[in-house]
Amino acid sequence: MQVAALRAMAKERGIKGASSMRKAQLIEILLPTDGDRKTENTVEKTETAEELAQEKTEEKHATKNVRRTSGRKAGSNNEKQSGSNNEKQAGTNNEKQSGSNNEKQSGSNNEKQAEKKNENHTGTRNEKQTAEKNDKKVEVKNDKKKDRKTSEKKIEKNNQEKKSSDEYKQKKNNGRMHQNRRGRNSENSQAGAENAEKAQKAPDESPVEAAREQAEIPRYKDARPCRGMLEVLPDGFGFLRGNGYTTDENDVYVSPSQIRRFRLRTGDVITGETRKNNPTDKFGALLFMDSVNGISPDENARRTPFEKLTPVFPNERIRLEREGGSAAARIVDLVSPIGKGQRGMIVSQPKAGKTTLLKEVAISVMQNNPEIHLIILLIDERPEEVTDMKETIAKANADNKVDVEVVASTFDETPENHKRISEIVIDHARRMVESKQDVMILLDSITRLARAYNLTVPPSGKTLSGGLDPTALYMPKRFFGAARNMREGGSLTILATALVDTGSRMDDVVYEEFKGTGNMELVLDRSLSERRIFPAIDLAKSSTRRDDMLFTREEMVAMNIVRRALSGVKGEEATEQFLNLISHTKTNYDFCREVVRMRVL
């Protein structure tokens, strides 16, 4: 059927809104539902019951008529007595035919009337029910449309709020990145706060953003500059140690997100700004980073890890000879020269002058090589020696032209403190080498560092002679093995002292383990120090691997002559003769020329 015919049928049945309905909707409304079918079945049942009752009443009336006619016929037979059998049969047949015809006509008329009544009745009922259903469906559809409109409005509002919040976050992050890249100071922070206030007054921003800006501006105004060395803890966050390498109440908290974002590691020196979120906070939080290891945070994030750099032999000389210096520095330059990236060991007995020799080396490095960052690490030392070392270095570096650090953990500290400080120092040196800087560490002593690790590491079940656990040597070897010269730039030089002949079997085992790991060895003899001969250097046992890459041609020839001449002489006499010749010349250059000219001592 066409849509117009369906709409006409719907209007006849009293359905509202039929003109705006589609063909499918009109068919659904006009088709009888389950409830309509049930009503039709009930109507049919009522019709059949009424028909049966009418048939019964008609049969009763027919029997009564037959009885009356039979009585009349009997009377006529008695009166006349001349009727033939044919007439009787014809009369009876006529009566039967007339009675059956009357019954049929009356029954059919009654059935037609009942059907008309039932049709009218059911039609009105169906029309009412369908009209009610259509009204309900229209109301439901209108309600759904209203709900959809309201939900769409809510979604639009939520999207607008999300967009505004995202724009706010992007502006905030862009501002922070810009500040981190260009290095923001206190004046820039005030300018940033003023810009934030101006942006807050702009009509494009929502009130939510303005409230957030107002809540955050006062926090930035009370920020203060900070500088310290980062120590990343196992939990992922870290602290900037401002007071050297020890913990302090002024330490600054660094979040894990900042550490991951800028690829920060233990030992990085960070400058920036900090503040406390609440007055009750124990530590302030790092707000901005101006620089990491002297460069911008973005450049520092692109650095090559220390483990991926290429180590090569030392090829750049570190000269210890200086004007007004002692003979010890000149002898070290000739006997066992030091280069950038050297891994040297000073083997000494107790009271042989190793601490004094370390002071001479430190002063010479500060004067001759100011580009080298010098770190003096004292582990398990006496407090008075730490004070003497700090005062000596401070006096030599009165102009503060050289970056020098004296880090100490005295013998009254716990082995865990020795371990923690040594790890921070070596990590700090690694981070500087990654930034292509030259670093030098003077360690006193690696034997005591191994003792501290032997007390802190969990037992492995195996024990070397002297009660030394093999796993206790892993971290000291990692410390000592970090010294290397990098082809890509930067170097890490380590001179570590090792104790021998102390009466402890453990100290001898530690020395034997580290004996073949270095590429430079300087041996001190206690018998020379007892005779008051300083420096007490054993010339025959002291040497440097690949010294040809560090010596000049004159120095190489002169030292070959000296070693051949002193090869058959005892150690004490050889050192005395060598010191006498050194004392008669002002510089090593004069000494080499004299040896080459004389060819003998």
Tens digit of each residue's pLDDT (9 = 90 or more) over 408-447? 999 999 999 999 999 999 999 999 999 899 999 999 989 9
Q: Which of 219-233, 497-511, 535-549, 574-588 has the lowest mean pLDDT?
A: 219-233
Please give the average per-residue pLDDT across 138-159, as a whole number. 65
Express the helix, strand and coil content of the chain in percent, nearest 5 each: 60, 15, 25
Q: Which of 115-119, 196-200, 476-480 has the lowest mean pLDDT?
A: 196-200
Cα-to-chain-centroid distance, residue 593 = 63
Alpha carbon distances (Å) from 458 to 416, 423, 551 = 13, 17, 45
Type and span of the H or E element at 330: helix 327-335
Tokens, residue 212: 């957030």
Tokens, residue 290: 């101006």
Q: What is the DSSP string of 90-115?
A: HHHHHHHHHHHHHHHHHHHHHHHHHH
Model confidence at 89, pLDDT cuts 50, 70, 90, reads very low
Type and span of the H or E element at 40: helix 34-80
Whole-structure pTM value: 0.63
Rounded Cα gap, residues 544 and 314, in angstroms: 11
Comparing CA positions, the residue from 118, 41, 145, 36 lying closest to residue 28 is 36
Q: Is the pLDDT of residue 161 over 80?
A: no
Confidence (pLDDT) at 456: 93
Please give the average per-residue pLDDT across 520-539, as a whole number. 89
Confidence (pLDDT) at 65: 53
Tens digit of each residue's pLDDT (9 = 90 or more) over 281-316? 788 888 888 889 888 888 888 889 999 999 999 999
**At the top level of CATH, which class does the domain 223-303 belong to?**
mainly beta
Residue with tokens 């200086």: 322
Model confidence at 57, pLDDT cuts 50, 70, 90, reads low
Confidence (pLDDT) at 340: 95
Comparing CA positions, the residue from 266, 265, 268, 286 lying closest to residue 277 is 286
CATH 3.30.1330.10 fits 312-548, yes or no: no
Count CA atoms closer than 13 A to 454's CA, side-chain side: 20
Confidence (pLDDT) at 421: 92
Q: Which of 108-117, 282-291, 391-400 has the lowest mean pLDDT?
A: 108-117
Share of the chain above pLDDT 70, in %: 68
The conformational region for residue 353 under phi > 0 = left, psi -120 to 50 = alpha, else beta, is left
Comparing CA positions, the residue from 367, 403, 411, 365 lying closest to residue 386 is 411
Highest mean pLDDT: which of 127-136, 335-344, 521-530? 335-344
CB 497 within 8 A of CB 444: yes
Rounded Cα gap, residues 247 and 367, in angstroms: 32
Confidence (pLDDT) at 68: 55
Rounded Cα gap, residues 161 and 577, in angstroms: 88
How many residues in total does the chain contain?
601
Per domain, the residue ranges of the chain are: 223-303, 312-548, 551-600
Please give the average per-residue pLDDT across 318-322, as a whole number. 93
CB 220 within 8 A of CB 189: yes
Confidence (pLDDT) at 309: 94
